[in-house]
Structure 1
């Protein structure tokens, strides 16, 4: 991987995991020191992230991690509500039995909240790749990564976050997919993503780094 891609991936990860929090100011020199590189790959990474609406350029001042807007959070989750069921349907129709059997690793979970975020991201990413559609999988994995930021920002205010219940929903989906029961799988994944919106959006409204409008 080229150096500029390493810097981009590291910086993007730091934003999505809230190591660089919404609203944080950033300067090229500070980031160059953080990642032990020159300023050029940092500048290129920041411009890529600006196009993804994760950062904003502040003329003569540097950059800022974009706050999360309720409108954009809603858009993200609604897009996921369309795309993830499509990936599940593709997987049921086209994936071989070994691909669907591999989802069994997500039947059990043990750990803390941070472990659950990683487990949850792994499960939904596995659904994306099981589709066999590379473009759909790439788009869904990007949405899943950005949704992690919503969860981390809202976690202190989330009500009804029950890892055991969420894992049970995952297991029910796995079983429906392995039976190739497209109708049941569609119902489960749509309800699962819709419940995420119902939990996360009210929590985001109570968080100080959330803005009412859209991101810049």
Structure 2
């Protein structure tokens, strides 16, 4: 009787040993990682406001001056973008600029452009996970040309392009070039420069209200 009991105990111990060895050979199972939702898709859609500063210089023989004409520009802009697909963005922007653009030639002393503004469309491509916006722009321009014979408000057109980088969820920085041509309004004989053609290169920053 004792022998049978001893044999049974040995058999149970052997089975337990085999089971433990097999359990040790099983691969270690880690807990499934917690699900992390993907980050939201970046979009340029929404309204924005911003500030800019840069430089301007004349084109050709405009401002009635044969010499160099250059100055500082600075102002603000407001606009709205709409991202119509992951690649394409369109928008509308208006800006108002103060300038120190001035001619001091002998024939037209103190011809200056104290301010100008534009209303422009923008269209381009969203690259690098939509954070880089490369665009062309163009539209209506207006400004005031001051001469020794009086002040004259001009209208015309502007065109150019730029790049804008969204460096934070609601902030972007841009560099932009514009060519602007303000012609004389109306008809009849008048004195002073007939056109104000100039280039501007400016850097700016925008705050986006609905950027996500």
Same fold (TM over 0.5): no
More helix by share: 1
TM-score by length of 2: 0.20
Q: Which has the higher contact order (CA 8 A, sep 6+)?
A: 1
TM-score by length of 1: 0.20
More strand by share: 2
